[in-house]
Amino acid sequence: MRYTIQKEYLILILLVLIVGAITGYFNYQNNLLKEELVSLENHFLAAETEYSSTTKHLNEIIDGLQEDLAERTAERDEFERKYNAEKSRLDLLALQISGIQGTVGLLEKLSETDPELLKKYSKVYFLNENYVPEELVRIDPQHTYRPEEEYLFHSKVWPFLEDLLLSADRAGVDIKVISAYRSFDTQTGLKDNYEMIYGSGANQFSADQGYSEHQLGTTIDFTTSEIGARYTGFEETAACQWLLENAYKYGFILSYPEDNQYYQFEPWHWRFVGRTLAEELHQTGRNFYELDQRAIDNYLIFFFD
């Protein structure tokens, strides 16, 4: 009996020891795992921090490079523009001082440029109703107010207009072409419409003047997605402001600026006159229509420069 009790005690002690050992072993393993987990977590956090700081750093470098590139591109464009304007001015000077000698190339260039492209139109001087530009191309629909409609433009002036539109796009300016080349017939229809809205009289003369320029294929009416065909309020848009500051760089001028003597203010109506003349008008603050026709004709030779 005593022996049995002792034996049972021994077994109990043994069991307690075994349970203790197992518990101890599991606790030990658990702690090891916990430590490993914590160290993994730390590792992960460190890697994450490093990754995000590297990404941030790379993004900063990319931003910096992009800004640099935009700046350089703008500087180069500006330089090119100034260079071309200066070159045209020197050519003009050469033409004026050297008479016929050595100007055969320039005269040939002049003979190939349609003189109508730089004419002033007025109550007494209209563009012939049979006049059609030498070649017309379709304006890229992404730049037009109604992309499903076909807007036509003078093929040799289109590259200048496209540059203007892409540049406005890059500057984040909402600008759309709403009217471009108009044939005499289209104009007659529109004119009837205009008369219904505004009546005849002073506006009739004004409208004729503007229409002639559209028949050249080198004149554009601009609008924005918001303003559309209303026209009114265009002068308050960012598009109008952008045009006033930049259009001359692409050879476009406002035919009828605010407070001009000839026609109602049309902030949306822009005519291509070539970069040399546009630059000259911009720098001197003068209007196309107040210049003498003979002075304007001097610039015909640089029309497509």
- Give contact residues for Zn ion (rule: CB under 5 A): 210, 221, 269
Least distance between Zn ion and beta carbon 186 (Å): 12
Q: Which is nearer to Zn ion, 222 or 299 (CB)?
A: 222
Q: Which is nearer to Zn ion, 60 or 149 (CB)?
A: 149
Least distance between Zn ion and beta carbon 269 (Å): 4
Q: Which is nearer to Zn ion, 210 or 251 (CB)?
A: 210
If DSSP states are collapsed to H, E and C, what string results for the chain?
CHHHHHHHHHHHHHHHHHHHHHHHHHHHHHHHHHHHHHHHHHHHHHHHHHHHHHHHHHHHHHHHHHHHHHHHHHHHHHHHHHHHHHHHHHHHHHHHHHCCCCCHHHHHHHHCCCHHHHCCCCCCCCCCCCCCCCCEEECCHHHECCCCCCCEEECCCHHHHHHHHHHHHHCCCCCEEEECCCCHHHHHHHHHHHHHHHCCCHHHHHHHHHHHHHHCCCEEEEECCCCHHHCCCHHHCHHHHHHHHHHHHHCEEECCCCCCCCCCCCCCEEEECCHHHHHHHHHHCCCHHHCCHHHHHCCHHHCCC
Least distance between Zn ion and beta carbon 214 (Å): 6
Find the residue with minimal CB distance to Zn ion. 269
Least distance between Zn ion and beta carbon 227 (Å): 14
Q: Which is nearer to Zn ion, 210 or 217 (CB)?
A: 210
Least distance between Zn ion and beta carbon 225 (Å): 19
Q: Which is nearer to Zn ion, 170 or 230 (CB)?
A: 230
